[in-house]
Amino acid sequence: MIAYQKYSKKSFPQTSLEIGTGWYPVVPIAFFLAGTTKIYSVDITFLTSKQRVKTTIEKFLESFENGRLKEYVAVNDERMRALKELFDNYDLYTLQEVLQKLNVTYLVEDARKLSLQNDSIDLVNSNNTFEHIYPEILIPILKEFKRVLKKQQGVMSHAIDMSDHFAHFDKSISIYNFLRFSTTQWKWIDNSIQPQNRLRFSDYQKIFSDLQLPVIAQTFRPGNSIEVAQIPLAKPFSDMNPEAVAISHCYFVVVLNE
């Protein structure tokens, strides 16, 4: 939202699209509170549920009450009243009705082929999703995003966590551990529930550049190249500069102005 305001000079997107809804629709509800009129969220699988949406709303109401929400979203008062009312009467509605009241359309489809019009979306965003999508699928998805994004001041915002996700719950391994495996070994280790493509920052830069998606802002977390040096890296990581391999998180903003 902050990137959108900064680069589009508008306070919120009228239409938004998120890829990788996951279990809890945090981003769609944040857009609802900001004032967005059409909120799309696409995922190949339908992972949320009525209870999970309720839990998400409850967390928003709590963080509004304790004053923390305003650090992240400029909340529209009328939308907040509507959210409270929805929460208070939650049992009266089906999940479909709840999503409708939140202006959310959940697209259960492959983001390589979206059922959305050309030039129709103000903001496309993703959080911790690209690292789970292999380049042969990610590249067509980005092409599709380019198609649906508004050609004048359409904004894309993508936050990518390039750390080994196994290290998130196994503290005995480094966030670079997965880079020790060859491509063939990784094919055996990687799983379809939470696949990890192991792309590094420079790979994403190249993808955006090849697709002529103008990146107007990019930030990254440098990570720890000393920790990288302790891992017997497999190719192609062993051929890369350790500082480049160490970058653990990155964030890209693309703005179209064609």
- Residues binding ligand SAM (CB under 6 A): 19-20, 22, 42-45, 47, 110-112, 127-129, 132-133, 137, 141
- Residue whose CB is nearest to ligand SAM in the complex, by number: 22
**Given the complex with ligand SAM, which of 20 and 223 has the nearer CB atom?**
20
* Cβ closest to ligand SAM, residue 167 vs residue 244: 167
Shortest Å distance, C-beta 218 to ligand SAM: 19
Nearer to ligand SAM, 123 or 141 (CB): 141
Nearer to ligand SAM, 91 or 136 (CB): 136
Minimum distance of ligand SAM from residue 9's CB (angstroms): 27
- Minimum Å gap between C-beta 127 and ligand SAM is 4
23 or 209: CB nearest ligand SAM: 23
Q: How far is the CB of 142 from ligand SAM (least distance, A)?
A: 11
Q: What is the 3-state secondary structure (H, E, C) of the chain?
A: CHHHHHHHCCCCCCEEEEECCCCCCHHHHHHHHHCCCEEEEEECCCCCCHHHHHHHHHHHHHHHHCCCHHHCCCCCHHHHHHHHHHHHCHHHCCHHHHHHHCCEEEEECCCCCCCCCCCCECEEEEECCHHHCCHHHHHHHHHHHHHHECCEEEEEEEEEECCCCHHHHCCCCCCCHHHHCCHHHHHHHCCCCCCCCCCCHHHHHHHHHHCCCCEEEEEEECCCHHHHHCCCCCCCHHHCCHHHHHCCEEEEEEEEEC
Cβ closest to ligand SAM, residue 23 vs residue 241: 23
Q: Shortest gap between Cβ of 91 and ligand SAM (angstroms)?
A: 26
Report the nearest approach of ligand SAM to the CB of residue 19 (Å): 6
